[in-house]
Structure 1
Amino acid sequence: MLFKIEQGLFTAEFTDYHAVLGVPVDAEPKDIRKHYLKLARRLHPDSCAKESESDRKRAAEFLSKMVNPAYEKLSDEKNYTEYQLLLKLKGQQALRQQDTIMLSSDVARKLATERGAIEAAYQNALKSLASEQYHHLDRTLELTGQISELNMIYLMRKASEGDMPAMGGPRPAQSAAAGTAATGSSPAATAAPTATAQKTAPTRESIVASYLRRAQEFENKQNYTAAIKELRDGLQIDPQNGTTHCRLGVVYMKANQATMAKIHFRKALEINPQDTVAQQGMKRLDPNNQSAAAAPQHNAPAKGAKTPPKSGKSEGGGLFGLFGGKKK
């Protein structure tokens, strides 16, 4: 996304598509589509005829570069399945890092102080922001960031309760449901496909493998920029995947970005000191350093190990201690 937003779930490698559209993270497909069509009408040039030229141009850019791409992501079944898992992991990651999170909006801070169930407060706060999101174009990015902070708080609370929200989005059962309306068949007929779809949900490993596969295809075509993007997206799913770090090292080396290649080769060796590809990559990049291929041993946690809390930090859980201490 060309517009820079740094609040909430947004990072250099991750876009909060729900926040862009102003819908909750557990919104149903029909509600996402309904709200998207409303935004598309609002931002269409014909709807902005009475506004200034600068506002018409800004509205067109928001529609083409933010709203349309976000809806394409959330309406595509394959992309959404991966994105759904990534959202869950984002919530868990934010919970682990809660001591370092700074909320920039009063509405997010208020939601963070809610006791007990926060579904109603979350929905009401988000709806209020979304109603203004694309009506004041000079504040659109600010309001989108605030909505993303609400999404982050909601996901963190659900992660702390061990109860991730049932995400909306495309499901195989959608077409079956449409068939029910057309033919009058019983709802029970569509229950089995839904259960089957839930049982066959992709694993983290299979999703990372798909990123690695696509990256290899781009690498074979010498499209290193696209390959790097796929691999970095894969690290969003599993940051401790040694294979992905190693492949990033290889691609960065081919792209003549030696510094980035070294970073990822070293990370690959932290995870797996016996990774021969990473060892060879380090030797090639730094042939005069005999220890370059050695895996760093200083306090490198084993895969899956928890990082010890920093001194001086409260162990009661950040963000006002509302999410509880870290699970043992």
Structure 2
Amino acid sequence: MSWKIDRGLFKYDFTDYHAVLCVTVDADVKDIRKRYLKIARRLHPDSNASASAAEKQLATELLSKWVNPAYEKLSADRTRTEYMVVLSQMGKRLVQESSSVELNTDLARQLASVPNVDHVYKSAIAKIAETQYDSLEKVLQIVAYVSELNLVYLMRTAGKSFAASQQATQSKINTSVPTPNKATNTPPPAPPAPPKEDSVAIQYLRRAQELLGKNQLAQARVELQDAIKLEPNNSRCHSLIGVVYLKQNQSTMAKVHFDRALQLDPNDETALKGKRVLEQALGQKPGSSKVASSSNGGKQPDKSGNGGLFGGLFGGKKK
């Protein structure tokens, strides 16, 4: 396993201990200790009794090479103070060198421009922390992912505005697209799409699907609302929260999110199926955009007998 990380703050010859522990850069000592103890229990040999020899070895190395040094650096007053001074200087340096900063993930790019940066950043870190050490082989990949979020957050709190740079980048992309062939009037080939990593929304979606399977609708809706705050253009998030609203008999909200999902992805099967069920329940012809109102404030009666209008479509359990 390679121990080298070349993304986020690590790219600038800086060891991002906050990313190793997956805590925010302004976390206090109490939260850092709590997080450390949770990771240490996960990596302790007693917690890996059924693991293979290779997995136990990897857990031990992660604990000794990464987790323990991170905790030692961030828990002691002197070393923590020195580290935070360097971190602050790093943020200011990155602002000055912002033209050379590359953001590789969708979430980092979104964090660069969202107005409520504190909420989005802290929410994302908290969610990632829940599964950071579930797969030991992917830990360093996740650490790199978190470090890129830390980098953006440091730059934002140091006063960096990404709006102008993003517009400049978009302008470069637009002017670099080849023109159509005038002789044949054929359109130019589309520029290759950049590689896309799994977004943090996938973690929300997995939890929401599990909660939906248990018919825990309120909790599933919270997960998906957080996901949409982080990735407002994720069609899957919108289609699933449409499912939740439909199962809660909130037809108007269900339609809003199904429509949004289909705007983003016209082939989203969940949204297509959800709209058909919704239209049938409201007595509309398929494809109609009109939503009928009812005397109970837009809520429709449960016609499925199994957890709302959507019934067993998503696989919810009967109560």
Q: TM-score, normalised by structure 1?
A: 0.48
Larger radius of gyration: 2
